[in-house]
Amino acid sequence: MIRVENLSKTLNERQVLNRIDFQLKEGDVLGIIGPNGAGKSTLLSLLGGLMAPDAGIIDMGGHQIGVIPQQLALYEELTVYENLKLFGVGMNMETTVLENKIQQVMVDLNLLVNKDVRVKKISGGNKRRVNIGIALMTSPTCLMMDEPVVGVDYQVRSDIEKLLKQMSKDGKTLIIASHLKSFIREVSTKILILEEGSVAYFGDVNEEVLNKL
């Protein structure tokens, strides 16, 4: 169970988040949506432990957290395999476990064909796949994603949607910030709508609410 109560944050003398409340259970996929400046990325940073709140409670329920930022965090001169291995080595995995994990991540994200290709030579969509793959190397039970399908083609987006749905079925909790209503509608079980840093709606996916955005 993930529990957030009265979460508030001020940045540069502006209150970015004001008394945010919600709860999630295992397998929930929370879609966070709202206009630019609504506080989506700040909320992800707080939940991921990248910054501290000014007030409120964040209880992540003991989850192993993986964070996927909107900005790509890859080594362009290394191959897809080498990028995954580099981040996996930092986890101090045994060699066999590490190699099996890399193989599984590449299969899940359809990256095998680009295994030995330098990242700088693959498409933007495949870079997104690698970026997600790096977070999956930690075997997270809660995965947080900021605009995971921005700028990708239909096939990459479809693959990511399938992966997220399977992760949800496997009991993983997903928290996704996006401005794409169609993507949020497709993958989410819950939605959190932010307006000027406050919760305008939290609950099950609601077509009527989404259509008003």
Query: How many separate domains does the chain show?
Result: 2
Q: How confident is the model at residue 37 (pLDDT cuts 50, 70, 90)?
A: confident
User: What three-state secondary structure class fits 33?
Assistant: strand
Average pLDDT of the segment spanning 17-45: 94
Q: 72: alpha, beta or left, given left = phi > 0 and alpha = psi -120 to 50? A: beta
Q: Is the pLDDT of residue 134 over 70?
A: yes
Mean pLDDT of all residues belonging to the chain? 92
Whether residue 157 is contained in a domain is answered as: no
- 87 neighbors 134 (Cβ within 8 angstroms): yes
Give the C-alpha separation, 137 to 104, whole Å: 9
Q: Are residues 209 and 106 in the same domain?
A: no
pLDDT of residue 105: 95
pLDDT tens string 80-112: 999 999 988 877 788 999 999 999 999 999 999
Q: Is the pLDDT of residue 212 over 80?
A: no
User: What are the structure tokens assigned to 99, written together?
Assistant: 């190699």
Q: Are residues 48 and 146 in the same domain?
A: yes
Q: Are residues 59 and 95 in the same domain?
A: no
Give, in order, the Cα–Cα distances in Å from 15 to each of 19, 53, 54, 127. Answer: 10, 11, 10, 34
Q: Are residues 51 and 89 in the same domain?
A: no
User: What are the structure tokens assigned to 108, written together?
Assistant: 């899940």
pLDDT of residue 57: 97
Give the domain range for residue 55: 1-64+142-151+168-213
Q: Are residues 147 and 117 in the same domain?
A: no
Q: How confident is the model at residue 56 (pLDDT cuts 50, 70, 90)?
A: very high
Percent with pLDDT over 70 in the chain:
99
Q: Are residues 134 and 87 in the same domain?
A: yes
Average pLDDT of the segment spanning 47-65: 95
Q: Are residues 208 and 146 in the same domain?
A: yes
User: What three-state secondary structure class fits 201?
Assistant: strand
Q: Are residues 146 and 45 in the same domain?
A: yes
CATH code, 212: 3.40.50.300
- The dihedral formed by the CA atoms of 144, 149, 154 and 156, expressed in degrees to the nearest 10: -60
pLDDT tens string 143-196: 999 999 988 889 999 999 999 999 999 999 999 999 888 999 999 999 999 999
